[in-house]
Amino acid sequence: MKLESKDFSNNELMDTKFTCDGKDISPQLEWTQIPESTKSFALSCIDPDAPAGDWIHWLVYKIPADKREIPQNGPVLGIEVENDFGKTDYGGPCPPSGTHRYFFRIYALDVENLDGINKNNFIDKVKEHTIESAEIIGLYKR
């Protein structure tokens, strides 16, 4: 499985428009080389460099199995879960200082839906049903 973006390259700086210093819009993401048994997708964006540990920027599940892209600032076509900003949508990079890494990860799942999911159990529930995953890392610094 492969995850790419037309808006940034792996381990490269993200444009300000995708951050709290800009328009705070989500970047375009597309995934390929999908396992045949995929029933749905889940997506996460997490900053492991936050002062208090992992900071959740974006959590989405129930993305239909026939979808291969989320357009820039586009509709997700899945169910978004509350992030660490207290919002149920994309929350762009907003680090206090220094360079932070933002891990965007797509998960191919063996189920269409995940019951009882929230930001605290999202990764564990997703991993229980992951067939394969892929990631791309965006950087942002202040």
Q: CA 45, CA 26: separation in Å to the nearest integer?
A: 10
Q: CA 139, CA 78: separation in Å to the nearest integer?
A: 25
Q: CA 108, CA 16: separation in Å to the nearest integer?
A: 29
Interior CA angle at 49 toward 55 and 97, to 5°? Answer: 100
Class of domain 2-141: alpha beta
Task: Give the whole-number percent of the chain exceeding pLDDT 70.
Answer: 100
CB 58 within 8 Å of CB 26: yes
* pLDDT at res. 63: 98
Please, what sign has the CA dihedral across residues 123, 126, 128, 134? Answer: negative
**Per-residue pLDDT reduced to its tens digit, 75-100:** 889 999 999 999 999 999 999 989 99
What residues does each domain of the chain span? Answer: 2-141
Instruction: Supply the pTM of this predicted model.
Output: 0.96
pLDDT bucket at 57, cuts 50 / 70 / 90 = very high
